[in-house]
Structure 1
């Protein structure tokens, strides 16, 4: 989130929304810790805005709350306009891996699709244990670099110009090989 013009405000809104989601589902920190595999202390720090969540943590929490990460991000942003200049698109950076996620086209009321840009540094990887919503349709288009994308146990080596479309029901892993430039790609996500 360091690239965002008001990173502290965005992180604070994420923290507040995570606390709201837990309250809406009447979950204690202990129960959420058991279900997510994230310690109670870390969850508490995340909800108070004292720690930045990693992509893996947000993935686990979004899965438990039944929403995509983009949906969570859109819930903490202002109402999404039809035209969204690049300068105001929300950018979030995973503090652990350096993964950057730009919300190019956030989900909106009555719309099923969203689009994001991802950039994963060389040697970095992000694994998600489950789909946030089973059956999400993804179209991943590589812009630069290389990416090993594993979807439900099958690994695809992707390079600039390649496109993979899939429905996500289970685990996935994004890994940028250790040599070469960052893996940069666009993902279009369509909810069932």
Structure 2
């Protein structure tokens, strides 16, 4: 697992065009510690992963999600991987990865939000852009506090750098597809 975390850190660091020294300065860790982690050496403390995630501007869960070398471009419905979501996945919402891995420029997620599910207590901001489409049910998407009501078939696109959250105001689950670039996990 440490090797997988190290590979993920190295991949994200390179994607952000950061040197070891630049990441060390941004995270408050030494370049040696980061280098060892990237090579799969040692056993990093959770606090170390939090510092790295903050410096890389990714959720800490993305460092823990193993990116497997998947030769197939297909993700079967029965083989979707659950990932943590806004405020982490709960009984009120599930998040399933629709892309084979997180090594590409975008991620697609199947989101099921139960009636009443509300993420307004933890607005989200991160680099990139998001696109969502409601497949069934309804969803209120708030962007910088402005409510956008979506019904089945409606879609939305916005900058992820703006605080955003969502609420399922309906009496049935909302099934949606959400696409983020770059990947947020």
Query: What range is the shorter-chain TM-score in?
Result: 0.5 to 0.7
1:158 alignment partner in structure 2: 150
TM normalised by structure 1 equals: 0.58
Q: For structure 2, list consecutive stretches of 5 or more residues without a partner in the other structure.
A: 10-23, 30-44
- Please list the CA deviations of residues 106-149 of structure 1 after superposition, one character each: whole Å capped at 9, or x if unmatched: 5544x31111110111011124434222xx12110001111110
Q: Give the aligned length.
A: 143
1:78 corresponds to 2:68: yes
Larger Rg: 2
Q: Give the SS at the match of 1:149.
A: strand
RMSD over aligned Cα, in angstroms? 3.8
Distance 1:159 1:124 in 2: 16
Q: For structure 1, list consecutive stretches of 5 or more residues without a partner in the other structure.
A: 1-12, 28-43, 48-57
TM normalised by structure 2 equals: 0.60
Asked if structure 2 preserves the Cα contact closer than 8 Å seen for 1:138 and 1:165, the reply is: yes
Distance 2:57 2:94 in 1: 22
The 3 A distance-change label for structure 1 pair 95 and 67 is closer
Q: Give the SS at the match of 1:139.
A: strand
1:117 corresponds to 2:110: yes
Asked if structure 2 preserves the Cα contact closer than 8 Å seen for 1:145 and 1:160, the reply is: yes
2:135 alignment partner in structure 1: 143
